[in-house]
Amino acid sequence: MIDHAHDLVSVHDATERLLSAVGKMDNAAVREPSRLPGWSRGHVLAHLARNADALVNVLEGRPMYADASVRDADIERDAPRPLEVQLTDLGESAARFQDTGAAPADWSRTVELRNGVTDVAARVPFRRWVEVELHHVDLGIGYELEDLPADFVARETDFLAERFAGHPDVPPTRLTDGTRAWRTGREADGPEVTVTGSPADLLGWLAGRRAGTGLSVAGGTLPALPPL
């Protein structure tokens, strides 16, 4: 069962970790490349701030973004800002998201995200948690997939395995970290491939953050996953 109140607390805690880490950077570090192709760390920070406001829009019944071009333009506009401005914006936008999440609401309602994707409102805090945790890793400032909370790793692995389930371009695949197991890919009576690895390596591969070199594969080669 989705517990939006628990996830809002988790978002707050993850944001505090992020703000503390980013606060140790300087202006030169903000301009340096992130781990995301074509994006500086400033791009990542700008995206995180604008994503918080976009999810406020979602929860309040407005379009998440006016359109894709506006989203991209806002990130490009805000990416070059100095660290102090980035920090202030990131903290204030995060606070707006928390305030919206604390307001009385029907959390069972359906909301619309980008590109016509819909979800229940109660899952929006978890989606924000994903943004904060994975983009903290993307900054490349010492926070790694191995540092992510274990419950977050398990839930995001669940989410991504479900996302690729039934995908025609992904062979029937069993994933396991030696304790838990997931199924993903095309429907079949049994898996064609079994992929085994640490929780961090499995999540990194599913989320497009690692190439999968730390994983072992039985029954074939490591499947090529479509972009998220």
Q: What average pLDDT does the segment 187-193 reach?
A: 93
Q: What average pLDDT does the segment 206-216 reach?
A: 97
Q: Is the pTM of this model over 0.95?
A: yes
Helix (H) or strand (E) holding 14: helix 4-22
In three-state secondary structure terms, 182 is: strand
User: For 10-69, how does the pLDDT look when each residue is reduced to its tens digit (9 = 90+)?
Assistant: 999 999 999 999 999 999 999 999 999 999 999 999 999 999 999 999 999 999 998 889
Supply the DSSP string of 19-75, one letter for each residue: HHHHTT--HHHHHSB-SSTT-BHHHHHHHHHHHHHHHHHHHTTS-SSS-HHHHHHHH
Q: φ, ψ for residue 217 (rounded to 5)?
A: -130, 130
Beta-carbon contacts of 23 under 8 Å, excluding residues fewer than 6 positions away, are 87
Question: Looking at residue 44, what is its pLDDT?
Answer: 98
Please tell me the distance from the alpha carbon of residue 8 to that of residue 118, in angstroms, as a whole number.
20
Question: Looking at residue 68, what is its pLDDT?
Answer: 84
Please tell me the distance from the alpha carbon of residue 144 to that of residue 163, in angstroms, as a whole number.
23
Q: What average pLDDT does the segment 101-111 reach?
A: 98
User: For 116-127, how does the pLDDT look when each residue is reduced to its tens digit (9 = 90+)?
Assistant: 999 999 999 999
In three-state secondary structure terms, 216 is: strand
Number of H helices, E strands in the chain: 8, 6
